[in-house]
Amino acid sequence: MDENEIIARITSLYADAAVDINGADCSFEVYVISEQLGGKSTLQRQRALLDLFKDELKSGKLHALSIKARTPSEQAATSGLVQIQL
């Protein structure tokens, strides 16, 4: 699967999302930072994001998808870095 396609799907769900992606073909590690993740549990976030790739995960086109999803303030708290929106 193409990484631009992955990013496009995520931003279609969370328009403000900053997406960082590592990997190729059928195996990706994706970091998503979005204000819209606030108030959702880790499970709810994972479900919502994995749902975008349901068909590919089922067919095996996407074999491995690791997702870390945080709000900007959670991200700032874990990394000590503050993301500046451009």
Instruction: Give the footprint of another protein on this chain (CB under 8 A).
Output: 42-43, 46-47, 50-51, 53-54, 57-58, 64-68
Three-point CA angle 55, 19, 62, nearest 5°: 25
| 83 in Cβ contact with 46 (< 8 Å) | no
Q: What does R_g of the chain's alpha carbons equal in angstroms?
A: 13
Judged by CB, which is closer to another protein: 35, or 54? 54
Q: How far is the CB of 42 from another protein (least distance, A)?
A: 5
Judged by CB, which is closer to another protein: 15, or 50? 50
Q: How far is the CB of 86 from another protein (least distance, A)?
A: 28
